[in-house]
Amino acid sequence: MPQPPIMGDIPAVRLSQVKPFSEVGCDYGGPFSLLRYRARGAKSCKAYICLFVCMATKALHLELVSDLSSETFLGAMRRFISRRGRCNHIYSDCGTNFVGASRELINMLKSAAEQEQISWHFNPPSAPHFGGLWEARIKSVKTHIKRVIGDQLLTYEEFYTLLVQIEAVLNSRPLCPQSSDPNDLSVLTPGHFLTLEPLNAPPKDDLSGIKLNHLSRWQLISRLHQSFWSRWSKEYLQTLLQRAKWNGSTIPIEINSVVLIKDDNLIPLKWSIGRVLEIHPGHDRVTRVVTLKTAKGILKRPVTKICPLPYCKSHN
């Protein structure tokens, strides 16, 4: 039986202070069946998601591509660089499309100055855990997209619109509090590094109670966007809990901690943020209820309905 070695430290590139998308990980997800155009007898085709994730800020950029060739990936990378700026290092597995693109990129950059070089780093073969950052992101994206879309066949334009909206959802996730000020309920998100402010979505009607065959095509895209938000946000909150269900001790909730509040009625890209004002221990000195300060006032919630955000105590 293989004996795995001890887990390594976080790579230095994950801790570097650089502009967003200077160091990126890249991966593919799919295939997805799409329609070339919407008409009677239109044939379906395959498409794939090309994901770029910033190694420092965890921000995502999603591109839709038609195949797995090196030429198609180079096109996706040119679109990515045109929008996000040039990257210095790219990390990926050793797929043939990435290797081919790396060779072509090296040939194109031979005459460029040294500071214009883009370095490519490949993981060892059969070692997906070396790229856990982008493997986890592409899994989250494609799993929920397939569950949300189901048997629906979207056109290329419809799917790309949905994909960009999903990108905004993923970049809106709270990472940590912005300060230790008790009156400050703002949190840091990957979107802050891209737009210097929280990402927002235009207001939409709730379409969850309407049958699919009663929706127009763009109402259907909005419905799929809302469904993705509902599924993914619940999964993300679960990842923040990281504690035993009931049978083990947990890290106690502290006063002034910033938490996410579970709320199934929130619209996409909106998070319910609160700061703990008071804890209410039981007879066994275990806190199961807390009082929270939110933008809408003072709330009392059970601990099972809140998810503390990570925060470094040295900042207090």
pLDDT in tens, 190-216: 888 888 776 666 666 666 677 766 677
pLDDT at 133: 84
Domains of the chain: 18-137 (3.30.420.10), 252-308 (2.30.30)
Q: Dump pLDDT digits (tens) for 245-278.
A: 444 556 678 888 888 888 877 777 788 888 999 8
pLDDT at 143: 80
Beta bridge partners of 144: none
Coil, strand or helix: which one is 313?
helix
pLDDT at 108: 56
Query: Does residue 243 carry a pLDDT above 60?
Result: no
Type of residue at 257: S
Using CA atoms, how far apart are residues 215 and 145, in angstroms rounded to an integer? 19
Segment holding 87, helix H or strand E: none
| E strands present in the chain | 23-35, 44-54, 60-65, 89-92, 119-122, 154-155, 176-177, 187-188, 258-261, 273-281, 287-294, 297-302, 306-308
pLDDT at 244: 44
Query: Does residue 126 carry a pLDDT above 80?
Result: no
Q: Which residue has the higher pLDDT, 107 or 5?
A: 107
Put simply, whether the predicted model's pTM sits higher than 0.85 gets the answer no
Q: Tell me whether residue 32 is exposed, middle or buried, using C-beta atoms within 10 angstroms of its C-beta: 0 to 12, 13 to 18, 19 or more.
A: buried
Query: Does residue 52 carry a pLDDT above 90?
Result: yes
pLDDT at 3: 41
Using CA atoms, how far apart are residues 236 and 55, in angstroms rounded to an integer? 19
Using CA atoms, how far apart are residues 274 and 297, in angstroms rounded to an integer? 9
Coil, strand or helix: which one is 290?
strand
Average pLDDT, the chain: 77
Q: How confident is the model at residue 37 (pLDDT cuts 50, 70, 90)?
A: confident
Nearest partner of 18 among 51, 78, 59, judged by Cα:
59
Using CA atoms, how far apart are residues 236 and 242, in angstroms rounded to an integer? 11
* Highest averaged pLDDT of the listed ranges 9-18, 48-57, 205-214: 48-57
Q: Dump pLDDT digits (tens) for 287-311.
A: 878 888 888 888 888 887 888 887 6
Non-local CB neighbours of 254 within 8 Å, separated by 6+ positions: 276, 279
Bond prior to 177 in cis (omega within 30° of 0): no
